[in-house]
Every structure is written in C-alpha cells, then in structure tokens.
Amino acid sequence: MEQGHLPVLAEEVIAMLAPAPGSLQIDATVGGGGHTERILEATSPDGRLLGLDADGAAIARTRTRLARFGDRLVLRQVNFREIARTAPEAGFAAVDGLLFDLGLSSHQLADAGRGFGFRTGGPLDMRFDPSRGVPAAELLQALDARELATLFRRFGEEPAAARIARAIVEERRRTPVATAEGLAALVERVTPRRPGPRRRHPATRVFQALRIAVNGELEALGEALPAAMDLLRPGGRLVVLSYHSLEDRIVKRFMAAERRGCVCPPEVPVCVCGRAPRLRLLGKPPIVPGPVELAANPRARSVRLRAAERLVA
Ligand SMILES: C[S@@+](CC[C@H](N)C(=O)[O-])C[C@H]1O[C@@H](n2cnc3c(N)ncnc32)[C@H](O)[C@@H]1O
C-alpha cells in the first residue's frame, strides 16, 4: 500500500465500526481513502459508503484510486459541518457507521504548495479547502500581537505565545511571514530549545494553532458530532480519531454527555430533564496505537480513538 494511504489504527477502526456486508457507512474525512477502502472491503459485496472531505484534491484522488468500488462509493467535496444536510441528500439519512479521522492527511502535509509542513518553501496557506476562507499568511499579517498570542495559546497551548507573536509583528514590519519555512525558522529562533531525545519541532504548536484557526476546526467538530448522532441508526457506531488534546476533549465530553443522558444540575436530587442516554461507549477509551504501528507510521504518534454505539433513545 502507498505510504500516503497508511490509515491510522485501521484494525481498531474496523473492529469498532464493525461494518457488516450491505451496511451504510459515512467516512467524514476521506483524505487518502485508506479507511474508506478498508470499510468498503468489509461491507462487500453491497455495502455503500458516503465519503466527505473539504479538500477537492483528496476527493479527486480517492475517486480515481477507489474507482473499482463503482457506485458503492459516493464522494462529496464538503466540510463535515454540513453533514446534516449533505448525508440525507446523498441517500445516507440513517447509517450504521460513521468515522471521523480528524486533522490533516500525509498528502496535505507533503504538498509544498499547501504550507502545512515546516520545511516547505511554498505559501503558508493551511486551508483544507483552498477555495474558501483566509490563508494562514493573511491571518499572520492581519492580527495584532495580542490577538496572535491569544491564538497560539488557545489553539496551540504554546507557552512562548507572547514572545512568538511579538517576533512575528517585528518581522512583518520588514517583510511578511508568508512561507511555512519562514514561520518555522522564526519560531525556532525565538523559542528556547527543550531537551529530550525525541523533541518535536519547536513550531509544532504554532502550526497546529494556525491550522485550527484557519479551518475553524473546533467549531466544525462541535457542530458535526451532534449531527452525526442524529444520522446513526440504533446500534450504529461512531468512531473518532483525534490528534491533539483540544479536539479529543470535545469528543470525550460529547460522548460522556450522550452516555449520561440526564443534563440536570448536580444539586437537583431527582432527574427532571427526562433525557435518556443516547450512546454506549465501546472499548476502553482512549484507544492508542501499539509499538509496531508507531514504528511504521509516525502520524499515529498522537492519535486517540474513541468509539460509541447509538442506543434506541
Ligand atoms: C487524517 S486525514 C484522513 C485520512 C484518511 N482517514 C485516510 O485513511 O487516508 C483528514 C482529512 O480530513 C479532512 N478534513 C479535516 N477537517 C475537515 C472538515 N471539517 N470537513 C471535511 N473534511 C475535513 C482533511 O482535508 C483531510 O483530508
């Protein structure tokens, strides 16, 4: 299998989704189509899958690569925050499984023109859908030092947020910070080196923060999870792979609330809201990769899998 399609926690995803032959599935983040392919194989001969991605290039590549599945695979270039509208329109109003594999793909990371990777000299764009919204370079030009620091702190949990923000504002007086390479070098210059054998690049948190802001990632996830629940049949499975603590927290809290059902404040002795649990958690969350997968696939390093089953309520 091509490196770009190496799906993270593939066995675990299939075990949790338990996609049966003939079932209806949604992959809300098609990317390189790695999970899509596994799910289509597992639902053979007549299962169908709706695949979404905001990135038109990902959709086009997957359409070609997985053409052998014919009309069992339906693809739409759309942000998954629109899943409540898109899925029923495509004939997937009630499904047996729904997967979110969040963040960015290896293709996007490797594409110098997108600005996701530290070492790419191309424009600092970072949009999953380059036809919409504002590229990261424009954000870096438009925000003042306080706003930049807040962004790096909030979406990157970056301890040196204020110092990095000041350095960007200073730098852009001379020349705009317009490439991924330029930004990575700037962050490296102004942040102290942290010791340790497997140090992450010092710009990791800043890149994460910018990407989250540019794509409205946390809002999209917050909107898509309740919509996804409404699309699941009783017994249907929801599986989410997240790659940083901010998105994992949203998933964890969402599943915990749906599992509890009742939303009465703790001081109310007897439930008055009458809300029944809508989810049952699967496995022992979070599920993380073992050493073999970690050695083979560096993208799996920070992944956390959470899975749940829709109850009748
Ligand atoms: C980690 S990759 C998916 C990899 C895929 N599971 C595979 O096996 O190849 C995440 C993909 O989700 C897409 N994505 C991220 N947020 C999105 C959103 N809000 N709406 C639609 N697609 C999104 C990205 O464009 C990217 O292609």
> What's residue 198's pLDDT?
59
Q: What is the pLDDT of residues 5-44, one digit of tens each?
A: 689 999 999 999 999 999 999 999 999 999 999 999 999 9
Report the separation in Å between the CA atom of 104 and the middle of ligand 1, taken as the mean of its atom positions: 6
Of 173, 200, 174, nearest to 187 (Cα)? 200
Q: Under a CB-based contact definition with an 8 Å cutoff, are residues 85 and 63 in contact?
A: no
For residue 203, give the CATH number of its domain. Answer: 1.10.150.170
Give residue 97's pLDDT.
98
9, 27, 29, best to mutate for ligand 1 pocket (most atoms within 8 Å of CB): 29
> In this structure, is the dihedral angle defined by the CA atoms of residues 199, 206, 228 and 80, taken in order, positive or negative?
negative
Q: Are residues 137 and 94 in the same domain?
A: no
* 67 closest CA partner among 117, 33, 118: 33
pLDDT tens digit at each of 313 positions of the chain: 444 468 999 999 999 999 999 999 999 999 999 999 999 999 999 999 999 999 999 999 999 999 999 999 999 999 999 999 999 999 999 999 999 999 999 999 989 889 999 887 789 999 999 999 999 999 999 999 999 999 999 999 999 999 999 999 999 999 999 999 999 999 999 997 766 655 688 999 999 999 999 999 999 999 999 999 999 999 999 999 999 999 999 999 999 999 998 888 888 888 898 889 999 999 998 999 999 999 998 889 999 999 999 998 6
Instruction: Report the separation in Å between the CA atom of 163 and the middle of ligand 1, taken as the mean of its atom positions.
Output: 32
Structural domain boundaries, residue 144: 110-215
Length of the chain: 313
Closest Cα partner for 218 from 81, 42, 111, 106?
81
Chain-centre distance for alpha carbon 116 = 14
125, 47 Cβ separation under 8 angstroms = no
Asked if 138 and 171 sit in the same domain, the reply is yes
For the CA of 81, the nearest atom of ligand 1: 19
Any atom of ligand 1 within 6 Å of the Cβ of 52: yes
Token digits for 37? 């392919």
Q: Which mutation among 8, 16, 30 tests ligand 1's pocket best, with the greatest number of atoms within 8 A of CB?
A: 30
Backbone angles phi, psi at 160, to 5 degrees: -95, 30
Which of residues 197, 215, 233 is at a domain's end? 215
Backbone φ and ψ of 189, nearest 5° = -70, -35
- 31 in the same domain as 12: yes
Residue owning tokens 């695949």: 51
173 and 124 together in one domain:
yes
